[in-house]
Amino acid sequence: MKNLVLVFMFFSAIGFAQQDSQYTQYMYNTITVNPAYAGSRGLLSVFGLHRSQWIGLEGAPRTNAFSVNTPLNGNHLGLGVSVVNDKIGPTVENTFSADLSYTVPTSETFKLSFGIKGTANLFNIDMNKLDIKDQGDKKFQDLDGKLSPNIGAGVYLHSDKMYVGLSVPNFIESDRYNDDQVTIFKEKINYYFIAGYVFDINPYVQFKPALLTKMVQGSPLQVDVSGNFMFNEKFVLGLGYRWSASVSAMAGFQVSEGLYIGYAYDHETTRLQKYNSGSHEIFLRFELFNSYSRITSPRFF
């Protein structure tokens, strides 16, 4: 069973249509998929996340993400850096990104941001976790320790109440080949569309529906929909649904003006639910206010 699970995870990680990391609370971690988000909150924002997927299934994905983004001296430029660490079975992937955005006001309430992203991806395999007959097989050695650069771009229209974004974090498709010129690893282009809107139910309750769609050639369309309620600008409760994959429960708490903590639990709805007890995701966001900050109350995004 151990070898079967590891083989499954291995080929999921290096399959023909590799996808970016997935997050249930994507609305708080937008910079990983859209570089135009950098600096859009108008303050220095530090974000850290841990996701444990498919608990109980050996070799299941584990993701750690860390990012910092800020506007530059209150002008139209925004800067962000991020690191994402993915572990799936015998593979470890580290992605380092730098983001630069430029924002122009389109009205009294809306701003339009354009962003570019530069990334470096380091891919490693622990051969000791694979039952390989020929340890010298070149097609496996060629995968280990490979550094792949990439570029991406995005646009992000936003106000204090809503956002809409389109992005492609990686424009370059990278291949690995064996001696017979057969592709055994391909990083595919990921296309993202995100949207959300905040409704003021009353002075104490806000409701925000959100949407994320991700399209990758050779993989099913991923659609995430969610709805979150914020109470007294402190507590957040919500539900989410990933099309044909999982249902989620989310909660958050604004600990102080600058510190927010969030948690999500995913329950698998596919046949894989028989072999795991769900997925857990937790994050911390810490923000530093300054003289040019314009946020007067907590936001969902």
pLDDT per position as a tens digit, 243-255: 989 999 999 999 9
Phi, psi of 288 (to 5 degrees): -110, 120
CA distance 40 to 158: 8
Residue 301 within a domain: no
Query: Each residue of 193-240: pLDDT tens digit?
Result: 999 999 999 999 999 999 999 998 778 889 999 999 999 999 999 999
pTM of the full predicted structure? Answer: 0.85
Tell me how crowded residue 268 is: count the other CB atoms within 10 A of its CB.
Answer: 20
Structure tokens at 92: 């470890």
Neighbours of 102 (CB within 10 A): 16
DSSP 76-101: SEEEEEEEEEEEETTEEEEEEEEEEE
**188, part of any domain:** yes
**Is position 16 within any domain?**
no
DSSP bridge pairs for 238: 228, 250
Instruction: Give me the chain's average pLDDT, please.
Output: 85
CATH number at residue 254: 2.40.160.40
Residue 248 in any domain: the answer is: yes
Q: Which residues constitute the domain of residue 161?
A: 26-288
The structure tokens listed for 82 are: 């991020």
Domain count, the chain: 1
- Residue in 253, 256, 250 with CA at minimum distance from that of residue 237: 250
Residue range 35-74, pLDDT digits in tens? 999 999 989 999 999 999 999 998 899 999 999 999 997 7
Asked if residue 210 is part of any domain, the answer here is yes
Residues 240 and 248 sit within 8 Å (Cβ to Cβ): yes
Bridge partners of 118?
A: 98, 151
Query: Is residue 12 assigned to a domain?
Result: no
pLDDT at 137 over 80: no
CA–CA gap between residue 33 and residue 137 (Å, rounded): 35
Chain centroid to CA 287: 19
pLDDT digits (tens, 9 = 90+) for 260-289: 999 999 999 998 888 999 999 999 999 987
| 212 domain residue, yes or no | yes
